[in-house]
Amino acid sequence: MAYLICPECGAHNPPEEEQCRICQTSLVGMEPVEEPAPPEGGEEELGLFNEEENDLPDLLQGLKLEDIEYEIDPEGLPEINLDDGLDSGEEEGRTPEWLDAVRKRAQVEDDSVGDLIKRVEAAQESVSGEDQEKHSDFESWIQKLRDEARDEAAGNAIAPEEPVDQAEPDAEVEPSKPEPEPTPGPEPEPGEEHSDWLTRIRKAHGIVDPEEGPNAASRSLLDWLVALEDNAPGEEDSPAIRDETQEIETGWERLPHEDITRQIKVVLEPRVTPQALNLTREESDQADLLSTIITDEKADHPVARRTYKVGVQWLNMLFLLILVVGISLALFTGGTAGLAQPQLSTGGAALMAWVDDLPEDADLLVVFDYQPAYTSEMSLVAEPILTSLTGWTVRVTVASSVASGPLLADELLTGAGLTYTDIGYFPMASYGGFGVATGLSTGQTAPGLPKPAQAMLGRGYDGVLVLSDNFEGAQTWIEQITARAPETPLGVLATSQAAPLLQPYFESGQIVGVLSGFSDAVALGDLSDSDSGLGPRWRAYQVGVLILMVALILGAVFAPAKRSSNRQRGDK
């Protein structure tokens, strides 16, 4: 069957796919690749591992997955000893649930594990079909190969008849793991003629059997592969493997200050088995397949690693130092000469004019929509208004759409000598805006408002003041209140970050004015008044802003030109 190989991740995709199912890379224009026809005879069954099956993360994942609806009774399935060793904690003789799932998957699903098991079963059946005597127990056959390999490595004569459970008399026994049971099955002595090729290949590759240990005797090929993965890192530099290296782009080169590539061992040629082994074609195929698996497990994965540039940290620290020292000097050295007085925004001027026109016993609703982090800026912005209201007999009602609203109201208003009534906190600002606006417009039941609050909203207000630290919060209240209670004048006090997008609401007449940011507060304050503390702060503010402008310029000047071509991530 034909399939498309993803140029990015190498995944196999159906020919009709236009993008990779794994990494969404475009497959348009890719030529479909024909799956090689299965070799004749027993080769198909013995061709245990195709490319997909080499994906051990998937394979391990498959061991755990059970996310399918089973259609076949697992009782009817042939026994394959996958559980021993993997589930040392399991009760003896009891099959763990995940293994049942794996077996069921083998019947209904074409994923790596299911398919692998099906192939193992197919191999057993076909082999027994060809020759009842040959490989009737696949697992014990593989086990036998390992035993022989160990014996040969130890210089012992191969003893085919040696019982499996005595394969490692000197193996160190882990107390935590139960002693494995010997795998039942007929003696595989005829298998010997086929089995020794594997031993020789393993010897030639200098592979230490990962199964060494008390459970080795009863582990399956699948289990062995899983264990191979665990052992792989320790075997990275096996001299037996001929590698070439190439640069693999790991995708980290776009990270600002370094390009990361690492050398990844990639086998560029199929493994050539030593002549001395004198292999048949079948053995040679198996050798290639096993070598590929082993090499894949030994190869470094494309692990992304950024080399940590200390220089960047120093540059950051340098700019931080300049910023802090500059601000400190500006704050703590006296004098206000040479300060540019900011221009009061038209919105700010309009808000001040509106406040001045309020009656002395005005009824004001003040909405607190800023977080404690913004207290310093909001206090400065609100100060001119609060100063104007001081001494008046205004009735202030407070509503909050941030958790700390009631506390901030207390600090700000009580600090300014104003008494107020708190009508509550609304967990959702838009919801609170809706409730307050409905109450303002109708004086009737407003959702989300307790009765006392509704009573407070029932009466008309001379104006609403929204204190917000962000554009979104302010806009919510503006839209709700101007839409439902348009006759109620609305003013906004906001931070600098909300300022740029609030101006149009003033221009469109939805709000009577907007006082935003430190520059408006300074424009309204008296820089020469040392008590206000505005002068030093304004000077420090100017220094900080100038440092940022310099940083922007330096960043642009010293940015590598090549970035313009390859820094197109996210279509920017």
Residues in region 279-338 near another protein by CB under 8 A: 301-306, 308, 315-317, 319-320, 323-324, 327-328, 331-332
Closest approach of another protein to the CB of residue 522, in Å: 8
Kindly tell me which of 116 and 289 has the beta carbon lying closer to another protein: 116
Site string for another protein, 145-174 (x = CB under 8 A): ------------------------------
Contacts of 204 (CB under 8 A, 6+ apart): 240, 273, 274, 277
Closest approach of another protein to the CB of residue 64, in Å: 5
Kindly tell me which of 463 and 473 has the beta carbon lying closer to another protein: 473
Kindly tell me which of 159 and 248 has the beta carbon lying closer to another protein: 248
Closest approach of another protein to the CB of residue 571, in Å: 5
Tokens linked to 146 = 């390992």
Write out the H or E segment, with its range, that includes residue 340.
none
Kindly tell me which of 3 and 425 has the beta carbon lying closer to another protein: 425
Kindly tell me which of 268 and 548 has the beta carbon lying closer to another protein: 548
Distance CA(223)–CA(216), nearest Å, equals 10
Kindly tell me which of 23 and 268 has the beta carbon lying closer to another protein: 23
DSSP 164-226: GGGS-TTPPPPTTSPPPPPPP----GGGHHHHHHHHHHHHHTTPPPTT-STTGGG--HHHHHH
Closest approach of another protein to the CB of residue 242, in Å: 25
Write out the H or E segment, with its range, that includes residue 513.
strand 513-516
Query: Which bin fits 366, alpha (ψ -120 to 50), beta or left (φ > 0)?
Result: beta
Q: Is the dihedral of CA 313, 314, 315, 321 positive or negative?
A: positive
Closest approach of another protein to the CB of residue 271, in Å: 25
Q: How far apart are the first and last CA of the chain?
A: 40
Residues 348-377 that bind another protein (CB under 8 A): 371-377
Out of 26, 280, 393, 530, the only residue in the binding site for another protein (CB under 8 A) is 26
Tokens linked to 234 = 């320790």
Site string for another protein, 494-513 (x = CB under 8 A): -xxxxxxx-xx---x-----
Does residue 567 belong to the site contacting another protein (CB under 8 A)? yes
Out of 2, 10, 15, 23, the only residue in the binding site for another protein (CB under 8 A) is 23
Beta strands, E only, 338-473: 363-369, 395-400, 420-425, 463-468
Residues 257-276 that bind another protein (CB under 8 A): 257
Out of 15, 41, 57, 233, the only residue in the binding site for another protein (CB under 8 A) is 57
DSSP three-state, residue 366: strand
Q: Is the dihedral of CA 62, 63, 65, 68 positive or negative?
A: positive
Site string for another protein, 230-259 (x = CB under 8 A): --------------------xxx-xxxx--
Asked if 216 and 171 touch (Cβ cutoff 8 Å), the reply is yes
Residues 380-439 that bind another protein (CB under 8 A): 380, 402-404, 406-408, 410-411, 424-425, 427-431, 434
Distance CA(8)–CA(217), nearest Å, equals 40
Out of 25, 54, 88, 95, the only residue in the binding site for another protein (CB under 8 A) is 25
Tokens linked to 156 = 């012992």
Out of 79, 179, 472, 529, the only residue in the binding site for another protein (CB under 8 A) is 472
Kindly tell me which of 67 and 71 has the beta carbon lying closer to another protein: 67
Asked if 246 and 232 touch (Cβ cutoff 8 Å), the reply is no
DSSP-derived pairing of the beta strands 490-494 and 463-468: parallel
Specify the stretch interacting with another protein by CB under 8 A; choose among 77-85, 131-139, 277-285, 542-550: 542-550
DSSP 29-63: TPPPEEPPPPPTTTHHHH----TGGG-HHHHHHHH
Residues 113-142 that bind another protein (CB under 8 A): none
Asked if 46 and 134 touch (Cβ cutoff 8 Å), the reply is no
Closest approach of another protein to the CB of residue 6, in Å: 10
Kindly tell me which of 55 and 152 has the beta carbon lying closer to another protein: 55
Out of 34, 71, 73, 97, the only residue in the binding site for another protein (CB under 8 A) is 97
Asked if 241 and 298 touch (Cβ cutoff 8 Å), the reply is yes
Out of 17, 44, 52, 165, the only residue in the binding site for another protein (CB under 8 A) is 17
Closest approach of another protein to the CB of residue 194, in Å: 35
Residue among 349, 348, 470, 473 at smallest CA distance from 399: 473
Distance CA(181)–CA(159), nearest Å, equals 20
Out of 31, 34, 40, 67, the only residue in the binding site for another protein (CB under 8 A) is 67
DSSP three-state, residue 492: strand
Closest approach of another protein to the CB of residue 148, in Å: 33
Residues 183-212 that bind another protein (CB under 8 A): none
Tell me the number of residues near another protein by CB under 8 A. 135
Site string for another protein, 447-466 (x = CB under 8 A): xx-x----------------
Q: How many alpha carbons fall within 13 Å on the CB side of residue 345?
A: 24
Closest approach of another protein to the CB of residue 489, in Å: 19
